[in-house]
Structures are given as structure tokens and as C-alpha cells.
Amino acid sequence: MFVVCRYVLHAGKARCDVKNTILFVAFDFEEWTDECNDIACGSNRYVKNITSYLSKSGGTISGAIILETVLNHNSSAESEKLPHGFDKLLPDVYNEVKNDSMRGNFLAVTGRKESDRKLLSLMAKHFQKDSDYRTQLIEVPINGQPSLNPGYKYFDDLYRSDHYSFWEANASYSALMLTDTADFRGYMQRCYHKECDNLSLVKEDDLEFLRRSINAVIKTVLDLSEVDSCKPVDVNFGGMSVTFNLFVMLAMLLGTFLF
């Protein structure tokens, strides 16, 4: 993460002029621990702190993009599971995945149908799709703070990351969770939070999935930041030639955009 941030600061800053501030943040205490009795303690504290700052400065958050688990791609039939009750709660999503033979070939883009409409639209627009790589928009039918919506607890499986801290804030900021669905896909159904979840399982199609996901994030970031000018620059990182537009975030990063 630090290498990526350093690259953005030193290479990107000289080549891109933006109107809105871009923040890269890595949260700790995302999981339940003895020190954290609820999920996403780190991001919850961050949101409270930045809300205090914004209330004094007059700024706002245009959008937050949360990268959850994003390295597991599986185009095999029946490799994807969906949370219990999805067929009733989100029948369109359920049927789209089912009609594609329950393949884990998609990046799940989770947002609130109305409150996160712009972010949902941008991610869907910028992801390079084909028959083996696609996005699956998961539009949660709630607006504003989830806890103020009747029946919000039915969607608990869609709150399992740092985006929820932004949703549940008093200002209820726009935020997306991007994920490969974690323990609902392929080998992660047995390896989630276990030692068998390691780099030995990473395949070429996983890296291609990551590349497309990150590229879509970059383009969405640039749209939100309102770039005046930006020139892609080829660099060599770890033996792989990549471009600025394809390589900004590779870890648990969040981009927030202030104006």
C-alpha cells in the first residue's frame, strides 16, 4: 500500500491536475477483535473524525470506494454462492447470477440504489466486461442511513465492510463496497480466514480480474476528482509493466473525494 501511495504522490501528482482532493486510507480494526466489539471500528472512527473536520471546513465527501476482497475469480459453473434469502430480497441479482450458471466471474459492486446511484453507474461504465469478466451491481433498496429503514437488517450480509461506516454516518455519505464476495466464492468457501487462503492459489485469471477491477476504480476516481489533465505513464513494478491508469490501489484502500 505504501509503495502504491508513494507512486501516486510522486508520479501521479506531477502528471494529473484535479479539482477535488483524493485520499487513500487503510483502516485497521475491520474485523471483530477484543479491542473492537463491532465490525469496522477503524473506519467508524475515521468517518467521525472527518465529519468533524468537514463540518468546520464546509466540505463534503463526494464518494468513497471500499476495496474488500478483490482477487478471487472463478468462471466455473456453480462456483458462486449467494447469501440466504437473496432470491427473495434481491431477485434480479439472484436470477442474473443463476442464469450465468452461478459462476464467480464478477466483481460485486454494492451500493444503495438511490443514495449511491452515481458511484454505481460509474463503476459499471468503466469496468471492461466480456463473457468471463463482468460486474454485478447489487443495489440495496434502502436510502440514507440503513438503520433508519424498515427491514434493513435483512441485508446484513451486505454491510460486512468499511462502507457501512459511511452509510450509517449522520451525513450518510455515498460509498461502494467492491468485492469478489469473499467466502461465497470457490475455494474461499473453505479457506476464508484460514491458512489455505494464500498466494499459492492466485491464478492468471485472478490477476486479470484484479487489473480490470483496479482500472475501473482508477477511472471512477478520476471522474470524481474532476481531472483537468492527466497523462498515463508506463512504469515497471516488480517485473510487471503497468500504466498509471491501471495501477493505483492493490491493497485495502479507500479513495475519498472532497470538494
171 has pLDDT over 70: yes
Whether residue 45 lies inside any domain: the answer is: no
Whether residue 106 lies inside any domain: the answer is: yes
According to the model, what pLDDT value does residue 188 have?
A: 94
* Count of domains observed in the chain: 1
Whether residue 8 lies inside any domain: the answer is: no
Whether residue 6 lies inside any domain: the answer is: no
- Output the DSSP codes for 165-217: HHHHSTT---EEEEE--GGGBTTHHHHTTSTT-SGGG--HHHHHHHHHHHHHH
CB atoms within 10 A of CB 226: 13
Whether residue 134 lies inside any domain: the answer is: yes
Whether residue 55 lies inside any domain: the answer is: no
According to the model, what pLDDT value does residue 91 have?
A: 98
32 contacts 39 by C-beta, under 8 angstroms? yes
218 has pLDDT over 90: no
Whether residue 33 lies inside any domain: the answer is: no
Q: Is the pTM of this model over 0.85?
A: no
- What one-letter code names the amino acid at 247? F
**29-33, 62-66, 139-143, 190-194: which has the minimum mean pLDDT?**
29-33
Residue range(s) defining the domain that contains residue 211 = 62-225
Query: Residue 6: enclosing H or E segment and its boundaries?
Result: helix 2-7
pLDDT digits (tens, 9 = 90+) for 106-123: 999 999 999 999 999 999
3-state SS assignment for residue 161 = coil
40 contacts 164 by C-beta, under 8 angstroms? yes
**198-202, 206-210, 229-233: which has the minimum mean pLDDT?**
229-233
159 contacts 151 by C-beta, under 8 angstroms? no
pLDDT band at 37 (very low <50, low <70, confident <90, very high): low
pLDDT digits (tens, 9 = 90+) for 145-158: 999 999 999 999 99
213 has pLDDT over 80: yes
Whether residue 247 lies inside any domain: the answer is: no
- Output the DSSP codes for 8-57: IIIIIHHHEEESSEEEEE--S--S--SS-SSTTHHHHHHHHHHHHHHHHH
According to the model, what pLDDT value does residue 16 have?
A: 66
What average pLDDT does the chain have? 83
- Is pLDDT larger for residue 160 or for residue 235? 160
Mean pLDDT of 51-60: 91
Helix, strand, coil tally for the chain in percent (to 5)? 40, 20, 40
